[in-house]
Amino acid sequence: FYALYMRSSLARRVVTLHPSPRVLDANSSSPAVSPERYWGSYRPQVYFGMKTRSPRSVVTGLMWMRQFTDMEGNLRHTCEQGDHLQGYGWLMHDGVSFGVQEIHDRDFTLTTEIVKRMGGDHGGDWTWRITAKQHSIASSAPVISLMFYAATDIQGSLQAHVEEKNRLSSVTGTSEELGNFKITFGKPTAGEDAGGKYARYNYLQTRSPGLDKLTDIVKNSLNHKFVFSPPKGEKRSYFAVDSYKVTDHQNQQKDPKMESDFVVHQVTVQTPFQIEVLFESGSFRERPNQLVGSVLTDELEKRKMAFDEKFESTFGLQAKGFTSSQIEFAKAALSNMLGGMGYFFGQSVVQSVYNEHPVLYPEGPLFTAVPSRSFFPRGFLWDEGFHQLLLNKWDSQLTQEVIAHWLDLINVEGWIPREQILDDEARSKVPSEFIVQHNENANPPTLFLALQELLEKRDAQPESLSSQTMLPFLKRLYPRLQIWFEWFNATQAGHIANSYRWRGRDKDSNLFLNPKTLTSGLDDYPRASHPSGDERHVDLYCWMTLASGIMANVARILGEPHQVYENTHRTLSNNNLLNELHWSENLHTFSDYGNHTQAVSLQQEKVFVPPGQPRHQFPVSRLVRSVRRAPKLQYVNALGYVSLFPFLLHILTPDSPKMEHILRDIQDPERLWTPYGLRSLSRTDPLYMKRNTEHDAPYWRGPIWININYLAVRALHHYGSIEGPYKEKAATLYQELRTNLINNVYKQYLETGYIWEQYSDSTGRGQGSHPFTGWSALTVLIMAEEY
Ligand code: 6A9
């Protein structure tokens, strides 16, 4: 019995939250405490939508489609790369009160604007203005259907108000967090002061089994029987939502209690046109006027001006002489990170060695920026530290809140799940094998970088609001930082004292050219060919050096004992120890150490599929790893981002002779230097641009990544401004690398309409997920020279 009891209590640990008081009060996101941030574009996974920062928010959104063209797959809703839009994203967004987005579809552009107005007890009112314009007047103006919707999520209710046959003029509703409210749909006009336009209307009022099903419900309800017949044009039948089919769908649902209200207002109209949608909160009583028409235009103008002013005073790009087009680009990069912030609520699926099956983590909220609105619109732990380097310059309060949300997710062991896949909408985007998060897995503690920035800003601007809230914030954060740091120190330690090792590398070595290390964030970056307990990883060593230093600082500020952190920091900062553990005299670079051989390659092999599998008995050919020379304990011969870490995180002393080698590798076009930024792996590396499996293209084996390049320019700036033998060299390289990065990310944006996940080291072209305004948006800081 005792053994059983022990087992089950161990099994519960992974899902037991840390007992220290949360950094955020339970009501911290409520409209009473934080009215300005209640409503927001917190649904980064849809092209356009809003929700409140609450667990079961009413959501609003927009779907659209082009009529009279190939209909299949033409319905737009969630951000999908497969939609092949020519670009979309927020051009302006202040993170609080307004935003302007442009969406470039095949032959027309939608401009989606939001303006909020405070009042009442539920986060106030807001208005949307959607403006549609065709791209070229050479062809006939496209007819577009906009489908505005509102949906509840388990609690609350919505009533559709229909006038003039099929026109849904408004939706009234009520929910726990919003009280009573009303959404009014304006009629389309040709422009702000222009008259009305011919339009057809349709609506759908139904129930939905979940927010992840909204697209399907609308798709399944589409019917082609409706006729578009403008005064001077031809009669044509068009697609519209039609309630009958959905009733069938509804009947298939088993649990009616779990169904939520879903109302869609479809308006079908030819470009150009403009439509406004007005949300009014029932508790907002002394409203001077409605936020529509010229009132809205005036408000928008004011916010845009304020945004421009704040942008210039924060980043100073005009003063630096950037062109207005470059500044637009930088505004778009920042705005899409701000406008791409999500408020997610739900549970991770996690597992420890004590759990036979994955288990559900406690429910909780996460307010976070996301790397990519299309491909991974959710929180990633180490991405977030980079995001906050940019957002902290814009709004330190925001950064504090985001860090608090992440640390409030920590469990009693001191572990934070790396990838936050919290609700059905998020889960619907992830293949099942990637959903479960394992509690032995780390991810670089970049939130310490963000904390470092917060502390520096506090020193520079002691009078600011965020500096004043800093102490109470740090006090509540501190026990969580301590356990987080200790978790790294204990669970990711290497065999030798003061060395560190990423856990969670791929186990089945024979299927991969080099088993991946997803937890390091650098996925397929080459490590020891044969994972073992003897490994030590130089990037993790450096992250721990940084983290211990920040821990010591925070402890000192709070008047807590700081000796232990300081000792760790002093030990790890000692370049002799670093050299001893990680400098390879043969390779002349900082390196990982482990059981390694360079003599590996992928070979075709005929194998029989095991009995029971569909193609049993037939030989199939697959790639397996062949090892031509046995591995032995040695330094790992890879040259790339990992080798640079002692420099990237400022751990090298400025007079270290190793600087010479590092700067040489950086500036060598045969190794890391390209006209577009530093490549992730040297061109001379045996694994440069090598696939890891048949289906796994090189990722961190050559391409240029902006987060590490940001750290590199920052380091060059650092070593270029302090005394030392390499000062001038660093300062020169700083200018060149900075220019190359800015020019290429900007050029790709102009050419493709997107900021990208990574850039080709041979052509500079953007590649991978897009839009990617996570850490690639750090280009703004590189432009501003804010490090
Ligand atoms: C798997 C795909 C429809 C990989 O930016 C997020 C992370 C980084 O933290 C990491 O360093 N990216 C980098 O190497 C993207 C990870 C995406 C995983 C998505 C499922 C969905 O399929």
Q: Which residues does residue 543 pair with via DSSP β-bridges, in sequence order?
A: none
The band of 613, judged by pLDDT with boundaries at 50, 70 and 90, is low
Report the pLDDT value the prediction gives residue 140, as an integer from 0 to 100: 86
What is the position in ligand 1's atom list of the atom closest to the CA of 775?
5
Q: What percent of the chain has pLDDT over 90?
A: 87
- When pLDDT is averaged across residues 316-334 and rounded to a whole number, the result is 98
CA of 376 to the centre of ligand 1 (A): 6
What is the position in ligand 1's atom list of the atom closest to the CA of 383?
9
SS3 601: strand
pLDDT tens digit string along 213-243? 999 999 999 999 999 999 988 999 999 999 6
In 252-380, alpha helices (H): 293-315, 324-339
* Pocket flag, ligand 1, residue 385 (CB < 6 Å): no
Q: Which residue has the tokens 């060149």?
A: 736
* Pocket flag, ligand 1, residue 523 (CB < 6 Å): yes
Amino acid, single-letter form, for residue 59: V
SS3 367: strand
Q: Atom 22 (ligand 1): residue with closest C-alpha?
A: 430
Q: Is the ipTM of this complex over 0.90?
A: yes
Highest mean predicted confidence (pLDDT) among 61-75, 126-140, 421-435, 733-747: 733-747
pLDDT at 73 over 80: no
Catalytic residues: 523, 757
Q: Atom 13 (ligand 1): residue with closest C-alpha?
A: 521
E strands, 371-436, where?
Answer: 379-380, 419-420
- Selected residue with higher pLDDT from 265 and 3: 265
Q: What are phi and psi of 501, to 5 degrees?
A: -145, 125
Write the CB contacts of 669 (distance below 8 Å, at least 6 apart in sequence): 683
CA of 671 to the centre of ligand 1 (A): 26
- When pLDDT is averaged across residues 200-208 and rounded to a whole number, the result is 95
Report the pLDDT value the prediction gives residue 456, as an integer from 0 to 100: 94
Instruction: Return the minimum-mean-pLDDT range out of 392-401, 447-456, 559-568, 609-618.
Output: 609-618
pLDDT tens digit string along 241-261? 996 444 444 455 555 556 899
Q: In angstroms, rounded to a whole number, what is the distance separating the alpha carbons of residues 687 and 23?
A: 44
Among candidate residues 322, 491, 364, 516, the one with its CA nearest the CA of residue 434: 516
Residue from 372, 378, 380 whose mutation best tests the ligand 1 pocket (most atoms within 8 A of CB): 380
CA of 537 to the centre of ligand 1 (A): 22
The band of 3, judged by pLDDT with boundaries at 50, 70 and 90, is confident
CA of 375 to the centre of ligand 1 (A): 8
pLDDT tens digit string along 722-742? 999 999 999 999 999 999 999
* Pocket flag, ligand 1, residue 427 (CB < 6 Å): no
pLDDT at 60 over 90: yes
The band of 606, judged by pLDDT with boundaries at 50, 70 and 90, is confident
Q: Atom 16 (ligand 1): residue with closest C-alpha?
A: 376
pLDDT at 192 over 50: yes
Q: Atom 2 (ligand 1): residue with closest C-alpha?
A: 430
Mean pLDDT of the chain: 94
* Pocket flag, ligand 1, residue 429 (CB < 6 Å): yes
Q: Atom 20 (ligand 1): residue with closest C-alpha?
A: 430
Instruction: Return the minimum-mean-pLDDT range out of 113-122, 690-699, 706-715.
Output: 690-699
The band of 623, judged by pLDDT with boundaries at 50, 70 and 90, is confident
Amino acid, single-letter form, for residue 319: A
The band of 612, judged by pLDDT with boundaries at 50, 70 and 90, is low
pLDDT tens digit string along 634-673? 999 999 999 999 999 999 999 999 999 999 999 999 999 9
Q: How many CB atoms lie within 10 A of CB 22?
A: 16
Report the pLDDT value the prediction gives residue 138, as an integer from 0 to 100: 73
pLDDT at 335 over 70: yes
- When pLDDT is averaged across residues 89-111 and rounded to a whole number, the result is 97
Among candidate residues 422, 400, 418, the one with its CA nearest the CA of residue 410: 418
Q: Which residue has the tokens 């004590």?
A: 354
* Pocket flag, ligand 1, residue 775 (CB < 6 Å): no
- When pLDDT is averaged across residues 118-132 and rounded to a whole number, the result is 97
pLDDT tens digit string along 257-276? 568 999 999 999 999 999 99
Q: In angstroms, rounded to a whole number, what is the distance separating the alpha carbons of residues 502 and 244?
A: 55
- When pLDDT is averaged across residues 47-74 and rounded to a whole number, the result is 91
pLDDT at 5 over 80: no
Q: Atom 8 (ligand 1): residue with closest C-alpha?
A: 521
Q: In angstroms, rounded to a whole number, what is the distance separating the alpha carbons of residues 743 and 549?
A: 34
* Pocket flag, ligand 1, residue 382 (CB < 6 Å): yes
Q: Exposure string (b/e) for 428-449, b if CB count within 10 Å is 16 or more?
A: ebeeeeeebbbbebbbbbbbbb
- When pLDDT is averaged across residues 533-539 and rounded to a whole number, the result is 98
Using an 8 Å Cβ cutoff, are 181 and 170 in contact? no
pLDDT tens digit string along 472-518? 999 999 999 999 999 999 999 999 999 999 999 998 778 899 999 99
Question: 37 to each of 281, 309, 393, 555, 747, how far by Cα in Å?
Answer: 15, 21, 18, 31, 34
E strands, 157-272, where?
Answer: 157-163, 167-175, 179-185, 199-208, 222-228, 236-241, 260-270
Q: What percent of the chain has pLDDT over 70?
A: 96
The band of 195, judged by pLDDT with boundaries at 50, 70 and 90, is confident
